[in-house]
């Protein structure tokens, strides 16, 4: 399960919330988005949705209210957003603020839920183990000839280079960790605003 808990001011617009969600989830903001609130859609104009420049305070949310956020209409990543609490802002804290989370978000353009699970299985499957065997043979060869003065490039074959490429492409599908610190650093640097603006251009 992938989840995040974030504190945002009630003045945050739906467009700004899109940028916040992009950063907290680890998306890149390159696809269309849409919020569904009480059967009204707000989001990318290409989807003929309502203008998302509306602050959260205008919706009169109560504790326990839920609405949905869909990112990337092809892969269709649907998020459930739940209003958990209302708090007073604290003078020494900056907002938005991520206070918790778990699970690494699937990478962009991986084929949706089904494609992500298939790639995740493949990243730990038979082919991955065979590639690991080839790389261990390559490493062994490097160690055995360490004192001969040969360069790494002398041992690089097309097969080894192909294996390196495959291993690199599997990395996003291997287990990783969610970092709240990294997300909050991104908020302080204003990266959520950059992600929000990508949809405006």
**Same-domain status, 139 and 181:** no
Q: Do both 51 and 100 map to the same domain? A: yes
User: What single-letter DSSP state applies at residue 29?
Assistant: S
For residue range 160-177, list pLDDT tens digits in order. 888 889 888 888 778 778
| E strand or H helix that includes residue 47 | none
3-state DSSP of 87-127: CCCCCCCCCCEEEEEECCCCCCCCCHHHHHHHHHHHHCCHH
Continuous H helices in the chain: 14-25, 112-123, 126-144, 158-170, 180-188, 191-198
Is 18 domain-assigned?
yes
Assigned domain for 7 exists: yes
Q: Output the pLDDT for position 32.
A: 96
**Is residue 83 included in any domain, yes or no?**
yes
**Residues 138 and 44 occupy one common structural domain:** no
User: 119 in a domain, yes or no?
Assistant: no
State the helix-helix crossing angle for 158-170 and 126-144, rounded to 10 degrees. Answer: 130
> What is the pLDDT at residue 199?
59
Q: Which of 20-29, 57-66, 167-176, 188-197 has the lowest mean pLDDT?
A: 167-176
pLDDT digits 0-9 by tens, 139-198: 888 787 777 777 777 777 888 888 889 888 888 778 778 999 999 999 999 988 888 876
Residues 155 and 187 grouped into a single domain: no
Q: Express each pLDDT in 92-151 by its tens digit.
A: 899 999 999 998 889 999 999 898 888 888 888 888 888 888 888 888 887 877 777 777
Q: Is residue 114 part of a domain?
A: no
182 shares a domain with 169: no
The whole-number average pLDDT for the span 34-49 is 97
Show Cβ contacts of residue 66 under 8 Å, excluding neighbours closer than 6 positions.
80, 81, 82, 83
- Any domain includes 95: yes
Domain assignment of residue 47, yes or no: yes
- In which band, very low, low, confident or very high, does the pLDDT at 59 lie, cut at 50, 70 and 90? very high
| Shared domain check, 131 and 57 | no
Query: Does 24 share its domain with 37?
Result: yes
CATH at 20: 3.10.290.30
Residue 13 shares a structural domain with residue 100: yes
Indicate the number of domains in the chain: 2
Which uninterrupted H or E stretch holds 4? Answer: strand 3-7
Q: How confident is the model at residue 201 (pLDDT cuts 50, 70, 90)?
A: very low
Q: Identify the domain containing residue 10 by its residue range.
A: 3-104+177-198
Cα angle at 3 between 71 and 28, to 5 degrees? Answer: 35
The answer on 96 and 138 residing in a single domain is: no
Q: Which of 53-62, 86-95, 155-164 has the highest mean pLDDT?
A: 53-62
Kindly state whether residue 109 falls inside one of the protein's structural domains: no
Q: Which residues of 49-82 are buried (b: 16+ CB within 10 A; e: fewer)?
A: bbebebebeebebeeeeebebbbbeebebebebe
Same domain? For 155 and 186 the reply is: no
Q: In this structure, are residues 199 and 18 in contact, taking their beta carbons and an 8 Å threshold? A: yes
The pLDDT of residue 200 is above 60: no
- Judged against a pLDDT cut of 90, whether residue 44 lies above it is answered with yes
pTM for this predicted structure: 0.80
- 35 CB neighbour count, 10 Å cutoff: 23
Which residues are within 8 A (CB) of 164 and not within 5 positions of it... i.e. 6 or more apart?
135
* CA distance from start to end of the chain: 33
Q: Are residues 36 and 91 in the same domain?
A: yes
Same domain, 163 and 69: no
């Amino acid at each position: 399960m992938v989840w995040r808990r974030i504190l945002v001011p009630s003045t945050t617009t739906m467009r700004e919330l899109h940028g916040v969600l992009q950063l907290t989830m680890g998306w890149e903001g390159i696809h269309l988005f849409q919020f569904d609130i009480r059967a009204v859609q707000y989001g990318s104009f290409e989807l003929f949705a309502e203008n998302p420049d509306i602050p959260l305070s205008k919706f009169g949310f109560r504790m326990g209210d839920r609405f949905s956020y869909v990112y990337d209409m092809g892969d269709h990543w649907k998020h459930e957003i739940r209003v958990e609490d209302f708090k007073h802002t604290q003078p020494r804290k900056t907002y938005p603020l991520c206070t918790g989370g778990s699970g690494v978000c699937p990478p962009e353009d991986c084929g949706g839920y089904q494609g992500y699970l298939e790639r995740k299985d493949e990243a730990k499957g038979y082919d991955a183990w065979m590639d690991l065997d080839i790389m261990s043979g390559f490493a062994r060869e490097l160690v055995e000839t360490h004192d001969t003065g040969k360069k790494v490039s002398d041992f690089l074959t097309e097969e080894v280079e192909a294996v390196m490429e495959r291993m690199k492409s599997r990395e996003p599908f291997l287990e990783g960790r969610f970092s709240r610190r990294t997300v909050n650093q991104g908020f302080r640097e204003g990266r959520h605003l950059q992600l929000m603006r990508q949809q405006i251009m």
